[in-house]
Structure 1
Amino acid sequence: MPYVTTPGGVKLSYQVRGAGRPLVLLQGQSNDHRWWDSVRADFDAAYQTITLDYRGTGDSDKPDEPYGTRGFAADVLAVLDEAGVERAHVYGTSMGGRVAQWLAAEHPSRVGALVLGCSSPGGAHGVERSNDVRRSLAQPDRAAAERALLELMYTPAWLATHPGPYFTIGDPGMPHYARLRHLAASARHDAWDVLPAITAPTLVVHGSDDVFNPAANAPLLAGRIPGAEVRMIEGARHAYFEEFRHVAGPMVLEFLRQHA
Protein backbone atom coordinates (compact mmCIF):
# COMPACT_ATOMS: atom_id res chain seq x y z
CA MET A 1 0.00 0.00 0.00
CA PRO A 2 1.54 3.36 -1.01
CA TYR A 3 2.24 6.16 1.45
CA VAL A 4 3.19 9.81 1.25
CA THR A 5 4.81 11.92 3.95
CA THR A 6 3.46 15.46 4.18
CA PRO A 7 5.73 18.51 4.55
CA GLY A 8 4.83 18.40 8.25
CA GLY A 9 6.08 14.82 8.58
CA VAL A 10 2.72 13.00 8.75
CA LYS A 11 2.64 9.68 6.92
CA LEU A 12 -0.57 9.16 4.93
CA SER A 13 -1.83 5.94 3.40
CA TYR A 14 -3.55 6.17 0.03
CA GLN A 15 -5.11 3.74 -2.42
CA VAL A 16 -5.28 3.76 -6.23
CA ARG A 17 -7.58 1.49 -8.24
CA GLY A 18 -8.96 1.30 -11.75
CA ALA A 19 -7.73 3.08 -14.85
CA GLY A 20 -8.60 6.24 -16.75
CA ARG A 21 -8.97 9.83 -15.70
CA PRO A 22 -8.27 10.33 -11.98
CA LEU A 23 -11.20 10.64 -9.58
CA VAL A 24 -10.60 11.47 -5.91
CA LEU A 25 -13.15 10.01 -3.48
CA LEU A 26 -13.31 11.70 -0.06
CA GLN A 27 -15.18 10.10 2.82
CA GLY A 28 -16.91 11.38 5.93
CA GLN A 29 -15.66 12.31 9.35
CA SER A 30 -13.78 9.69 11.42
CA ASN A 31 -13.81 7.19 8.55
CA ASP A 32 -11.08 5.63 6.48
CA HIS A 33 -11.21 4.78 2.77
CA ARG A 34 -13.47 1.75 3.38
CA TRP A 35 -16.39 4.22 3.42
CA TRP A 36 -16.37 3.74 -0.37
CA ASP A 37 -16.02 -0.05 -0.49
CA SER A 38 -19.65 -0.82 -1.32
CA VAL A 39 -19.80 1.52 -4.32
CA ARG A 40 -16.20 2.01 -5.43
CA ALA A 41 -16.42 -0.57 -8.20
CA ASP A 42 -18.98 1.64 -9.98
CA PHE A 43 -16.33 4.33 -10.35
CA ASP A 44 -13.32 2.03 -10.88
CA ALA A 45 -14.96 0.85 -14.08
CA ALA A 46 -14.61 4.30 -15.64
CA TYR A 47 -11.90 6.11 -13.64
CA GLN A 48 -8.66 5.70 -11.78
CA THR A 49 -10.02 6.18 -8.27
CA ILE A 50 -7.84 7.63 -5.54
CA THR A 51 -8.68 7.49 -1.85
CA LEU A 52 -6.73 8.20 1.31
CA ASP A 53 -6.97 7.48 4.99
CA TYR A 54 -7.28 10.87 6.66
CA ARG A 55 -4.73 11.55 9.35
CA GLY A 56 -6.15 9.93 12.46
CA THR A 57 -7.71 7.03 10.53
CA GLY A 58 -6.82 3.74 8.89
CA ASP A 59 -3.14 3.16 8.20
CA SER A 60 -2.22 6.86 8.30
CA ASP A 61 -0.41 8.51 11.19
CA LYS A 62 -2.56 9.71 14.06
CA PRO A 63 -0.90 12.77 15.57
CA ASP A 64 -2.63 14.26 18.60
CA GLU A 65 -2.82 17.80 17.28
CA PRO A 66 -5.55 20.02 15.81
CA TYR A 67 -7.03 18.87 12.49
CA GLY A 68 -9.02 20.95 10.02
CA THR A 69 -10.87 20.50 6.74
CA ARG A 70 -8.47 22.92 5.10
CA GLY A 71 -5.55 20.87 6.38
CA PHE A 72 -7.16 17.68 5.10
CA ALA A 73 -7.34 19.35 1.68
CA ALA A 74 -3.59 19.97 1.86
CA ASP A 75 -3.17 16.26 2.63
CA VAL A 76 -5.16 15.41 -0.51
CA LEU A 77 -2.79 17.61 -2.52
CA ALA A 78 0.19 15.76 -1.06
CA VAL A 79 -1.35 12.47 -2.21
CA LEU A 80 -2.02 13.82 -5.71
CA ASP A 81 1.54 15.10 -5.97
CA GLU A 82 2.95 11.76 -4.85
CA ALA A 83 0.71 9.90 -7.32
CA GLY A 84 1.75 12.21 -10.16
CA VAL A 85 -1.78 13.53 -10.70
CA GLU A 86 -1.99 17.10 -11.94
CA ARG A 87 -5.77 17.35 -12.20
CA ALA A 88 -8.60 15.13 -11.02
CA HIS A 89 -12.34 15.05 -10.60
CA VAL A 90 -13.28 15.20 -6.92
CA TYR A 91 -16.27 13.58 -5.21
CA GLY A 92 -16.56 14.35 -1.52
CA THR A 93 -19.33 13.17 0.79
CA SER A 94 -20.19 14.48 4.27
CA MET A 95 -16.99 15.91 5.80
CA GLY A 96 -15.27 14.86 2.57
CA GLY A 97 -17.46 17.42 0.82
CA ARG A 98 -16.17 20.08 3.20
CA VAL A 99 -12.60 19.07 2.40
CA ALA A 100 -13.42 19.17 -1.31
CA GLN A 101 -14.74 22.72 -0.99
CA TRP A 102 -11.33 23.97 0.15
CA LEU A 103 -9.55 21.94 -2.49
CA ALA A 104 -11.65 23.39 -5.31
CA ALA A 105 -11.67 26.96 -3.98
CA GLU A 106 -7.96 27.26 -3.25
CA HIS A 107 -6.49 24.97 -5.91
CA PRO A 108 -8.76 25.34 -8.95
CA SER A 109 -6.15 24.09 -11.41
CA ARG A 110 -6.11 20.70 -9.65
CA VAL A 111 -9.87 20.03 -9.78
CA GLY A 112 -11.80 19.04 -12.91
CA ALA A 113 -15.45 18.47 -12.00
CA LEU A 114 -16.63 18.62 -8.39
CA VAL A 115 -19.37 16.63 -6.64
CA LEU A 116 -20.41 17.58 -3.11
CA GLY A 117 -22.57 14.97 -1.43
CA CYS A 118 -24.51 15.36 1.86
CA SER A 119 -22.27 18.28 2.76
CA SER A 120 -22.53 21.79 4.22
CA PRO A 121 -20.84 25.19 3.92
CA GLY A 122 -20.45 25.16 7.70
CA GLY A 123 -20.10 28.21 9.92
CA ALA A 124 -22.88 30.64 10.65
CA HIS A 125 -24.57 30.02 7.30
CA GLY A 126 -24.74 26.23 7.51
CA VAL A 127 -27.87 24.49 8.80
CA GLU A 128 -26.97 22.46 11.87
CA ARG A 129 -28.55 19.20 13.01
CA SER A 130 -31.23 19.51 15.67
CA ASN A 131 -30.65 19.14 19.39
CA ASP A 132 -32.71 15.94 19.31
CA VAL A 133 -30.25 14.43 16.84
CA ARG A 134 -27.29 15.59 18.94
CA ARG A 135 -28.79 14.03 22.06
CA SER A 136 -29.43 10.73 20.29
CA LEU A 137 -25.75 10.51 19.35
CA ALA A 138 -24.48 11.58 22.77
CA GLN A 139 -26.47 9.13 24.90
CA PRO A 140 -24.30 7.16 27.36
CA ASP A 141 -25.47 3.76 26.10
CA ARG A 142 -22.98 3.29 23.27
CA ALA A 143 -25.01 0.56 21.58
CA ALA A 144 -28.04 2.85 21.52
CA ALA A 145 -25.94 5.73 20.21
CA GLU A 146 -24.57 3.54 17.42
CA ARG A 147 -28.08 2.43 16.52
CA ALA A 148 -29.14 6.09 16.40
CA LEU A 149 -26.27 6.82 14.02
CA LEU A 150 -27.23 3.92 11.78
CA GLU A 151 -30.80 5.20 11.61
CA LEU A 152 -29.49 8.62 10.55
CA MET A 153 -27.46 7.01 7.79
CA TYR A 154 -29.97 4.47 6.44
CA THR A 155 -33.72 3.90 6.27
CA PRO A 156 -35.33 1.24 8.49
CA ALA A 157 -36.06 -0.88 5.42
CA TRP A 158 -32.39 -0.94 4.45
CA LEU A 159 -31.22 -1.77 7.97
CA ALA A 160 -33.73 -4.63 8.18
CA THR A 161 -32.22 -6.32 5.14
CA HIS A 162 -28.56 -5.28 5.40
CA PRO A 163 -27.01 -6.46 8.67
CA GLY A 164 -23.59 -4.97 7.98
CA PRO A 165 -20.75 -4.58 8.56
CA TYR A 166 -21.16 -0.85 8.04
CA PHE A 167 -18.13 1.18 6.98
CA THR A 168 -19.84 4.57 7.28
CA ILE A 169 -20.16 4.84 11.06
CA GLY A 170 -16.52 5.40 11.95
CA ASP A 171 -13.16 3.65 11.78
CA PRO A 172 -13.21 1.26 14.77
CA GLY A 173 -9.43 1.45 15.08
CA MET A 174 -9.30 5.20 15.66
CA PRO A 175 -7.96 6.40 19.01
CA HIS A 176 -10.50 8.38 21.02
CA TYR A 177 -8.44 11.57 20.77
CA ALA A 178 -8.42 11.30 16.97
CA ARG A 179 -12.20 11.01 16.92
CA LEU A 180 -12.42 14.21 18.93
CA ARG A 181 -9.97 15.90 16.57
CA HIS A 182 -12.11 14.90 13.58
CA LEU A 183 -15.27 16.09 15.28
CA ALA A 184 -13.67 19.47 15.95
CA ALA A 185 -12.38 19.75 12.37
CA SER A 186 -15.83 19.20 10.93
CA ALA A 187 -17.50 21.51 13.45
CA ARG A 188 -15.06 24.35 12.71
CA HIS A 189 -15.51 24.15 8.95
CA ASP A 190 -16.57 27.43 7.36
CA ALA A 191 -15.99 27.84 3.63
CA TRP A 192 -18.81 30.30 2.99
CA ASP A 193 -16.53 33.15 1.94
CA VAL A 194 -14.49 31.09 -0.53
CA LEU A 195 -17.30 29.13 -2.19
CA PRO A 196 -17.88 31.78 -4.90
CA ALA A 197 -14.25 31.26 -5.96
CA ILE A 198 -14.96 27.70 -7.07
CA THR A 199 -14.71 27.50 -10.86
CA ALA A 200 -15.10 23.74 -11.30
CA PRO A 201 -18.41 22.48 -12.71
CA THR A 202 -20.21 21.44 -9.53
CA LEU A 203 -22.98 19.00 -8.67
CA VAL A 204 -24.52 19.09 -5.18
CA VAL A 205 -26.26 15.85 -4.14
CA HIS A 206 -28.26 15.25 -0.97
CA GLY A 207 -30.80 12.83 0.45
CA SER A 208 -34.16 14.50 0.94
CA ASP A 209 -34.59 12.85 4.37
CA ASP A 210 -31.11 13.59 5.70
CA VAL A 211 -31.33 15.16 9.18
CA PHE A 212 -27.80 14.19 10.21
CA ASN A 213 -26.50 16.87 7.86
CA PRO A 214 -29.79 18.62 7.06
CA ALA A 215 -30.91 18.61 3.44
CA ALA A 216 -31.40 22.39 3.59
CA ASN A 217 -27.63 22.70 3.17
CA ALA A 218 -27.80 21.50 -0.44
CA PRO A 219 -29.48 24.60 -1.93
CA LEU A 220 -27.24 26.80 0.24
CA LEU A 221 -24.14 25.27 -1.29
CA ALA A 222 -25.51 25.27 -4.82
CA GLY A 223 -26.59 28.89 -4.50
CA ARG A 224 -23.15 29.95 -3.34
CA ILE A 225 -21.09 28.15 -6.01
CA PRO A 226 -21.35 29.71 -9.50
CA GLY A 227 -23.30 27.53 -11.91
CA ALA A 228 -23.73 24.64 -9.46
CA GLU A 229 -26.50 22.10 -9.99
CA VAL A 230 -28.40 20.48 -7.13
CA ARG A 231 -30.06 17.06 -7.13
CA MET A 232 -32.11 15.69 -4.25
CA ILE A 233 -32.57 11.93 -3.89
CA GLU A 234 -36.06 11.33 -2.55
CA GLY A 235 -36.33 9.20 0.57
CA ALA A 236 -32.58 8.99 1.13
CA ARG A 237 -30.80 9.68 4.39
CA HIS A 238 -27.13 10.54 4.96
CA ALA A 239 -25.60 7.46 3.30
CA TYR A 240 -27.58 8.05 0.10
CA PHE A 241 -24.61 6.95 -2.04
CA GLU A 242 -24.78 3.42 -0.63
CA GLU A 243 -28.47 2.74 -0.02
CA PHE A 244 -29.56 4.57 -3.18
CA ARG A 245 -26.54 3.47 -5.18
CA HIS A 246 -28.74 2.65 -8.18
CA VAL A 247 -29.75 6.33 -8.36
CA ALA A 248 -26.72 8.18 -7.04
CA GLY A 249 -24.02 6.26 -8.90
CA PRO A 250 -25.37 6.80 -12.42
CA MET A 251 -26.25 10.40 -11.56
CA VAL A 252 -22.69 11.22 -10.52
CA LEU A 253 -21.10 9.27 -13.35
CA GLU A 254 -23.24 11.06 -15.93
CA PHE A 255 -22.30 14.43 -14.49
CA LEU A 256 -18.61 13.55 -14.59
CA ARG A 257 -18.94 12.24 -18.16
CA GLN A 258 -20.42 15.56 -19.24
CA HIS A 259 -17.36 17.37 -17.90
CA ALA A 260 -14.64 15.10 -19.17
Structure 2
Amino acid sequence: MGPHRASDLADLPDRGFDYRGTGETRSELGPWSTASFARDAAHVLDELEIPTAHVYGTSMGGRVAQMLAIEHPHLVDRLVLACTSPGGELAVERSQDVRRRLADPDRQARHRALVDLFYTPAWASTHERSTLFGDSSMSAKAQQLHLRVSAQHDASHRLGNIVAPTLVLHGSDDEMAPVENATAIAARISDCSVEITPGGRHGFFDEFSSTVTPHVVAFLSA
Protein backbone atom coordinates (compact mmCIF):
# COMPACT_ATOMS: atom_id res chain seq x y z
CA MET A 1 0.00 0.00 0.00
CA GLY A 2 1.35 3.43 -0.84
CA PRO A 3 0.24 6.97 -0.04
CA HIS A 4 0.26 9.33 -3.02
CA ARG A 5 -0.46 12.91 -4.00
CA ALA A 6 -3.08 13.23 -6.71
CA SER A 7 -0.41 14.82 -8.93
CA ASP A 8 1.87 11.78 -8.61
CA LEU A 9 -0.34 9.21 -10.35
CA ALA A 10 2.24 8.63 -13.06
CA ASP A 11 4.61 7.32 -10.40
CA LEU A 12 2.00 5.13 -8.71
CA PRO A 13 3.85 1.77 -8.84
CA ASP A 14 7.06 3.21 -7.31
CA ARG A 15 5.82 5.16 -4.32
CA GLY A 16 5.20 3.78 -0.86
CA PHE A 17 6.76 3.04 2.50
CA ASP A 18 8.27 0.02 4.21
CA TYR A 19 6.16 -1.79 6.79
CA ARG A 20 7.83 -2.59 10.08
CA GLY A 21 10.22 -5.48 9.61
CA THR A 22 10.61 -4.89 5.84
CA GLY A 23 12.97 -2.97 3.59
CA GLU A 24 14.77 -0.27 5.54
CA THR A 25 12.30 -0.38 8.44
CA ARG A 26 13.79 -3.07 10.64
CA SER A 27 11.95 -2.31 13.87
CA GLU A 28 10.18 -5.29 15.44
CA LEU A 29 8.59 -3.22 18.21
CA GLY A 30 4.96 -4.18 18.75
CA PRO A 31 2.21 -4.87 19.10
CA TRP A 32 1.63 -5.10 15.36
CA SER A 33 -1.79 -5.00 13.72
CA THR A 34 -3.38 -3.62 10.59
CA ALA A 35 -4.49 -0.67 12.76
CA SER A 36 -0.92 -0.01 13.94
CA PHE A 37 0.37 -0.25 10.36
CA ALA A 38 -2.34 2.23 9.36
CA ARG A 39 -1.10 4.60 12.07
CA ASP A 40 2.39 4.25 10.61
CA ALA A 41 1.00 5.24 7.20
CA ALA A 42 -0.76 8.22 8.78
CA HIS A 43 2.51 9.32 10.37
CA VAL A 44 4.29 9.07 7.01
CA LEU A 45 1.66 11.28 5.38
CA ASP A 46 1.94 13.76 8.24
CA GLU A 47 5.74 13.90 8.01
CA LEU A 48 5.49 14.47 4.25
CA GLU A 49 2.88 17.19 4.88
CA ILE A 50 0.35 15.43 2.64
CA PRO A 51 -3.10 16.35 3.97
CA THR A 52 -5.01 13.78 1.92
CA ALA A 53 -4.03 10.90 -0.35
CA HIS A 54 -5.23 8.33 -2.79
CA VAL A 55 -4.65 4.91 -1.22
CA TYR A 56 -4.19 1.66 -3.18
CA GLY A 57 -3.72 -1.47 -1.09
CA THR A 58 -3.31 -5.06 -2.25
CA SER A 59 -3.57 -8.23 -0.15
CA MET A 60 -2.37 -7.42 3.40
CA GLY A 61 -1.89 -3.85 2.21
CA GLY A 62 -5.60 -3.83 1.43
CA ARG A 63 -6.34 -4.77 5.02
CA VAL A 64 -4.13 -1.92 6.23
CA ALA A 65 -5.80 0.44 3.75
CA GLN A 66 -9.20 -0.46 5.20
CA MET A 67 -8.03 0.53 8.67
CA LEU A 68 -6.48 3.74 7.39
CA ALA A 69 -9.78 4.72 5.76
CA ILE A 70 -11.73 3.72 8.88
CA GLU A 71 -9.56 5.29 11.56
CA HIS A 72 -8.08 8.22 9.62
CA PRO A 73 -10.86 9.14 7.16
CA HIS A 74 -9.61 12.69 6.67
CA LEU A 75 -6.44 11.33 5.06
CA VAL A 76 -8.06 9.15 2.40
CA ASP A 77 -9.46 10.87 -0.67
CA ARG A 78 -10.04 7.76 -2.79
CA LEU A 79 -9.49 4.11 -1.93
CA VAL A 80 -8.61 1.04 -4.02
CA LEU A 81 -8.70 -2.40 -2.38
CA ALA A 82 -7.35 -5.35 -4.37
CA CYS A 83 -7.28 -9.11 -3.62
CA THR A 84 -7.97 -8.49 0.05
CA SER A 85 -10.33 -9.55 2.83
CA PRO A 86 -12.52 -7.85 5.45
CA GLY A 87 -11.43 -10.34 8.09
CA GLY A 88 -13.61 -11.46 10.97
CA GLU A 89 -16.92 -13.17 10.40
CA LEU A 90 -17.26 -11.82 6.85
CA ALA A 91 -14.03 -13.32 5.58
CA VAL A 92 -14.00 -16.30 3.23
CA GLU A 93 -10.75 -18.03 4.11
CA ARG A 94 -8.37 -19.96 1.88
CA SER A 95 -8.78 -23.72 1.83
CA GLN A 96 -6.84 -26.18 3.94
CA ASP A 97 -5.15 -27.42 0.76
CA VAL A 98 -3.82 -23.93 0.06
CA ARG A 99 -2.62 -23.61 3.67
CA ARG A 100 -0.88 -26.97 3.38
CA ARG A 101 0.88 -26.00 0.17
CA LEU A 102 2.10 -22.72 1.64
CA ALA A 103 3.41 -24.51 4.72
CA ASP A 104 5.35 -27.16 2.80
CA PRO A 105 8.75 -27.62 4.47
CA ASP A 106 10.44 -27.78 1.06
CA ARG A 107 11.36 -24.23 0.03
CA GLN A 108 11.16 -24.93 -3.69
CA ALA A 109 7.72 -26.51 -3.27
CA ARG A 110 6.52 -23.41 -1.40
CA HIS A 111 7.83 -21.22 -4.19
CA ARG A 112 6.05 -23.30 -6.84
CA ALA A 113 2.85 -23.00 -4.80
CA LEU A 114 3.19 -19.21 -4.64
CA VAL A 115 3.71 -18.95 -8.40
CA ASP A 116 0.63 -21.10 -9.00
CA LEU A 117 -1.49 -19.15 -6.53
CA PHE A 118 -0.44 -15.74 -7.83
CA TYR A 119 -0.25 -16.32 -11.58
CA THR A 120 -1.80 -18.32 -14.40
CA PRO A 121 0.29 -20.96 -16.23
CA ALA A 122 0.51 -18.57 -19.19
CA TRP A 123 2.39 -16.02 -17.08
CA ALA A 124 4.60 -18.64 -15.46
CA SER A 125 5.66 -19.98 -18.85
CA THR A 126 7.12 -16.63 -19.90
CA HIS A 127 8.38 -15.12 -16.62
CA GLU A 128 11.08 -16.24 -14.22
CA ARG A 129 10.62 -13.82 -11.31
CA SER A 130 7.96 -11.85 -9.48
CA THR A 131 8.25 -8.94 -7.06
CA LEU A 132 5.11 -10.01 -5.19
CA PHE A 133 6.50 -12.80 -3.01
CA GLY A 134 7.66 -10.63 -0.12
CA ASP A 135 10.95 -9.28 1.17
CA SER A 136 13.47 -12.12 1.30
CA SER A 137 15.59 -10.16 3.78
CA MET A 138 12.88 -10.18 6.46
CA SER A 139 13.75 -11.97 9.67
CA ALA A 140 11.84 -15.12 10.60
CA LYS A 141 10.25 -13.21 13.49
CA ALA A 142 9.09 -10.40 11.20
CA GLN A 143 7.61 -12.92 8.75
CA GLN A 144 5.67 -14.58 11.56
CA LEU A 145 4.44 -11.22 12.84
CA HIS A 146 3.24 -10.21 9.38
CA LEU A 147 1.32 -13.47 9.00
CA ARG A 148 -0.29 -12.81 12.38
CA VAL A 149 -1.21 -9.25 11.36
CA SER A 150 -3.08 -10.54 8.32
CA ALA A 151 -4.75 -13.40 10.18
CA GLN A 152 -6.00 -11.18 13.01
CA HIS A 153 -7.37 -8.40 10.81
CA ASP A 154 -11.06 -7.72 11.40
CA ALA A 155 -12.82 -4.76 9.82
CA SER A 156 -16.04 -6.70 9.31
CA HIS A 157 -18.16 -4.46 11.56
CA ARG A 158 -16.46 -1.20 10.60
CA LEU A 159 -16.45 -1.17 6.80
CA GLY A 160 -19.59 0.98 6.84
CA ASN A 161 -17.49 3.77 8.37
CA ILE A 162 -15.47 4.14 5.17
CA VAL A 163 -16.60 7.36 3.48
CA ALA A 164 -14.01 7.59 0.69
CA PRO A 165 -15.13 6.57 -2.80
CA THR A 166 -13.86 3.01 -3.12
CA LEU A 167 -12.95 0.63 -5.94
CA VAL A 168 -12.69 -3.08 -5.06
CA LEU A 169 -10.65 -5.25 -7.44
CA HIS A 170 -10.22 -9.01 -7.43
CA GLY A 171 -9.29 -11.95 -9.60
CA SER A 172 -12.04 -14.47 -10.20
CA ASP A 173 -9.71 -17.43 -9.55
CA ASP A 174 -7.97 -16.14 -6.43
CA GLU A 175 -7.45 -19.01 -3.96
CA MET A 176 -5.34 -17.00 -1.50
CA ALA A 177 -8.20 -14.59 -0.80
CA PRO A 178 -11.31 -16.01 -2.50
CA VAL A 179 -13.27 -13.63 -4.69
CA GLU A 180 -16.29 -13.74 -2.35
CA ASN A 181 -14.34 -11.35 -0.12
CA ALA A 182 -14.63 -8.64 -2.76
CA THR A 183 -18.42 -8.66 -2.74
CA ALA A 184 -18.49 -8.88 1.06
CA ILE A 185 -16.41 -5.71 1.31
CA ALA A 186 -18.26 -3.82 -1.41
CA ALA A 187 -21.67 -4.57 0.09
CA ARG A 188 -20.75 -2.66 3.25
CA ILE A 189 -19.16 0.47 1.78
CA SER A 190 -21.72 3.01 0.64
CA ASP A 191 -19.79 4.55 -2.26
CA CYS A 192 -18.18 1.49 -3.83
CA SER A 193 -17.81 -0.31 -7.14
CA VAL A 194 -16.36 -3.74 -7.92
CA GLU A 195 -14.32 -5.01 -10.87
CA ILE A 196 -13.49 -8.70 -11.19
CA THR A 197 -10.71 -9.81 -13.55
CA PRO A 198 -11.74 -13.09 -15.21
CA GLY A 199 -9.14 -15.80 -14.71
CA GLY A 200 -7.08 -13.62 -12.39
CA ARG A 201 -5.34 -15.13 -9.38
CA HIS A 202 -3.85 -13.40 -6.34
CA GLY A 203 -1.37 -11.46 -8.46
CA PHE A 204 -3.92 -10.46 -11.09
CA PHE A 205 -3.07 -6.75 -10.79
CA ASP A 206 0.48 -7.59 -11.91
CA GLU A 207 -0.27 -10.21 -14.56
CA PHE A 208 -3.12 -8.21 -16.07
CA SER A 209 -1.65 -4.77 -15.34
CA SER A 210 -2.23 -3.58 -18.90
CA THR A 211 -5.97 -3.55 -18.21
CA VAL A 212 -6.12 -3.24 -14.41
CA THR A 213 -3.77 -0.28 -13.95
CA PRO A 214 -5.61 2.04 -16.39
CA HIS A 215 -8.84 1.36 -14.47
CA VAL A 216 -7.12 2.25 -11.20
CA VAL A 217 -5.60 5.44 -12.60
CA ALA A 218 -8.93 6.48 -14.13
CA PHE A 219 -10.70 5.92 -10.82
CA LEU A 220 -8.10 7.84 -8.82
CA SER A 221 -8.13 10.65 -11.35
CA ALA A 222 -11.92 11.10 -11.33
Q: TM-score range by the shorter chain?
A: over 0.9
Cα deviation, residue 233, structure 1:
0.5
Counterpart position of 1:35: none
- C-alpha distance in 2, partners of 1:242/1:48? 10
Which letter maps to 2:196? Answer: M
Counterpart position of 1:250: 214
> Of 121, 126, 130, which aligns to 1:156?
121
The yes-or-no answer on 1:211 pairing with 2:175 is yes
Cα deviation, residue 22, structure 1:
5.9
The 3-state SS of whatever aligns with 1:253 is helix
The yes-or-no answer on 1:115 pairing with 2:63 is no
The yes-or-no answer on 1:175 pairing with 2:139 is yes
Which letter maps to 1:217? Answer: N
Pick the structure with more strand per residue: 1
CA contact (8 A) 1:22 1:50 kept: no
Q: Which runs of 5+ in 1 are unaligned?
A: 1-14, 24-42
- C-alpha distance in 2, partners of 1:98/1:44? 24
Q: Deviations over 1:6-53 (max 9, x none)?
A: xxxxxxxxx999xx6266xxxxxxxxxxxxxxxxxxx435x6964001
The 3-state SS of whatever aligns with 1:112 is strand
Alignment of 1:27-176 (within 5 A): 43-45=9-11, 50-63=15-28, 65-164=30-129, 166-176=130-140
> Of 147, 163, 183, which aligns to 1:199?
163
**% of aligned pairs identical?**
49
Which letter maps to 2:6? Answer: R
The 3-state SS of whatever aligns with 1:51 is coil
CA contact (8 A) 1:115 1:252 kept: yes
Q: Normalised by the size of structure 2, how large is the TM-score?
A: 0.94
Which letter maps to 1:21? Answer: A
Cα deviation, residue 257, structure 1:
1.6
Q: Deviations over 1:194-238 (max 9, x none)?
A: 110110000000001111111110000000111210110011111
Counterpart position of 2:189: 225
The 3-state SS of whatever aligns with 1:104 is helix
The 3-state SS of whatever aligns with 2:39 is helix
Q: What is the RMSD computed on CA atoms of the aligned residues?
A: 1.8
> Of 201, 206, 214, which aligns to 1:237?
201
- C-alpha distance in 2, partners of 1:16/1:227? 20
Q: Which runs of 5+ in 2 are unaligned?
A: none
Pick the structure with more helix per residue: 2
